[in-house]
Amino acid sequence: RIEAARCPDVVVAQIDPRKLKKKQTVNISISGCQPAPEGYSPTLKWQQQQVANFSAVRQSLNKHRNHWRSQHLDSNVIMPKSEDEEGWKKFCLGERVYSEIDTLSDNENVGIDYMKVGFPPLLSIVSRMNQATVTSVLEYLISWFGEKKFTPELGRWLYALLACLEKPLLPEAHSLIRQLARRCSEVRLLEENKNEEQISALNLIICLVSRYFDQRDLADEPS
């Protein structure tokens, strides 16, 4: 109390105006998705059907989660720890995609080496992932996708992780899926060969983020 009584009632900060002129630009992206390439914008009917299908998948997953969680994993399936970013990228995408190797040199007769091609998002795997792990893995894959191309392996895992996200979304998950939709729209626009299957996959992710998870400002306008 004695120290407080000695403090002046009004204190004026000494600010150097020259320092305020530096590093004042802050870029915050609030824009929506880039429009689809001409002729590739999905119809409203298609988008509604995808949302219905996705909703059915989520309901089935929730209904049977305990059953699939109780299933034994194969001995070669070793799920990384939640905080192991590199481990999850290799687990989901495989060493071939992760390391950007064009071909595999192994003898095809040996069988599938999931360490090289990545583990698919089996129900017995994703059912064991809690919300913190789902969000973390989603963040790892979106971070990887931010600088890399879209692949079928990535698409399958993104769909599965979105199916595991609980609503209402946590703030970090909300931010992540918006980032994902924007990235999909950028890749879709830059698709040189206009691969219809790939654009359709990108359209699907944008559709689910915008219309199922209620991020309507990111939705594709019906063609």
Q: Is residue 10 part of a domain?
A: no
At 71 the three-state DSSP class reads: coil
Q: How far is CA 45 from CA 48, 195, 210, 216, 222, in A?
A: 5, 22, 15, 16, 8
Instruction: Tell whether pTM > 0.85.
Output: no
Helices 196-207 and 44-69 sit at what angle, rounded to 10 degrees? 80
CATH code of residue 89: 1.20.58.1070
From first to last of its 223 residues, what are the pLDDT tens digits of the chain?
A: 777 677 776 666 666 555 554 444 444 445 678 998 888 999 999 999 999 999 999 999 999 999 999 988 988 899 999 999 999 999 999 988 877 766 555 545 456 787 788 899 999 999 999 999 999 999 999 999 999 999 999 999 999 999 999 999 999 999 999 999 999 999 998 876 778 899 999 999 999 999 999 999 999 987 6
Number of domains in the chain: 1
Q: Is residue 15 part of a domain?
A: no
Q: pLDDT tens for residues 165-185?
A: 999 999 999 999 999 999 999
Range of the domain at 179: 40-101+112-218
120 is a domain residue: yes
Query: Considering the domain boundaries, does residue 89 fall inside one?
Result: yes
Would residue 26 count as lying in a domain? no
